[in-house]
Amino acid sequence: VVWENSSDTVAISVRKVSGNVTSMVSPSFFRPALIARERNNTEDISAIVMELACNEIQKKRDSFTAASAITTLNLPSVLLRVVQKAEFAGIDLHSTSGKNGFEGIVHGGNRLDPMSLRVLAFTDMLSRAWQSNRDELVFEHDAILQEGGNRTKFEVKVTRLEENAIVVVVRDVSERYRRFEAEKRFVFETTARQKDAEANRFTRHEVKNGLLAAIEICGNIREQFSEDFNLLQKENEVSLVTEQSLKTRVEHISELDRTLHEVLDIVLAETMARDVIHEMYVPRMERVDVNYILTHTRGFTASHKQFS
């Protein structure tokens, strides 16, 4: 029951004296292709028997089966037989297979049918399994199992029973891999959001407070200049040089004040934009002095009329 109905694919693979490898594979890996080929009574299929030539086992295999790289000139030498339930008990992996052609390969131009794609992928996995001398081995293999389809990721576990016999268990881990990648993206985005939040807190409080303190100092200096200018004007002690000097100083202070306000606006806009992007922005009502804001927005022309 487990053999026929498990979502994992189990293969018992035996190497013969000739060097050829015969493998009995549970039907789960090939069932979608058998259904696509409209094979009758797919539920009565108990196994797929594959025989790989010795030279196929020895070929170096990549960790990705790409159908686009397969042509009629380099198709693997594989014999395939579909075993019904009534025949299952009589399977002998050590017997010599008949020389019937590999029925799965249907190559029309650059296209392979779904069964052929699955056989090619499983051939690559079996070859990689046999090329290791370890008693136990786990590796990953990627394959595209249908034309224009997405890449499927498999986890392959190999257990050596004896020198010339292994058991291979193939598990589709694509969904697990996608969840893992999604979790990694979530952790990355969460970490980035936390770092942005920390930077925002620092910018909003430390930088903003520093700018506000500098703006306040500029305001105090400007007010002091205005008071000195008005005092000299009342005492009729303002010379042309003194007036020009005071005007220049006020202009410099006003320019610095405008620059500080522009930087403050940029800082506040950036922090608010980050909060909006990360869905952390909370609108707050605040009472403001419109006259004060408009006065400082216009700036100063260093004219003594401002200070009267």
Portion of the chain with pLDDT greater than 70, in percent = 73
Question: Within 10 A of 269 (CB to CB), how many other CB atoms are there?
Answer: 10
Chain segment 200-224, per-residue pLDDT in tens: 676 666 677 777 777 788 777 777 7
Burial per residue of 147-173, b for 16 or more beta-carbon CB atoms within 10 angstroms, e otherwise? eeeeebbbbbebebeeeeebebbbebb
Under 8 Å between Cβ of 23 and 52 = yes
Under 8 Å between Cβ of 73 and 149 = no
Q: Which two tokens stand for residue 245?
A: 């000097």
What pLDDT, on the 0 to 100 scale, is given for residue 9? 94
Burial per residue of 295-304, b for 16 or more beta-carbon CB atoms within 10 angstroms, e otherwise? ebeeebebeb
Chain segment 189-198, per-residue pLDDT in tens: 878 777 777 7
Could you tell me the pLDDT band of residue 10, with boundaries at 50, 70 and 90?
very high
- Is 303's pLDDT higher than 50? no
Three-state secondary structure of the chain: CHHHHCCCEEEEEEECCCCCEEEEECHHHCHHHHHHCCCCCHHHEEEEEEEECHHHHHCCCCCEECHHHCCCCCCCCEEEEEEEHHHHCCCCCCCCCCCCCCCCCCEECCEECHHHHHHHHHHHHHHHHHCCCCCEEEEEEEEECCCCCCEEEEEEEEEEEECCEEEEEEEECHHHHHHHHHHHHHHHHHHHHHHHHHHHHHHHHHHHHHHHHHHHHHHHHHHHHHHHHHHHHHCCCCCHHHHHHHHHHHHHHHHHHHHHHHHHHHHHHHHHHHHHHCCCCCCCCCCCCHHHHHHHHHCCCCCHHHHC
Least confident of 32-36, 61-65, 211-215, 274-278: 274-278
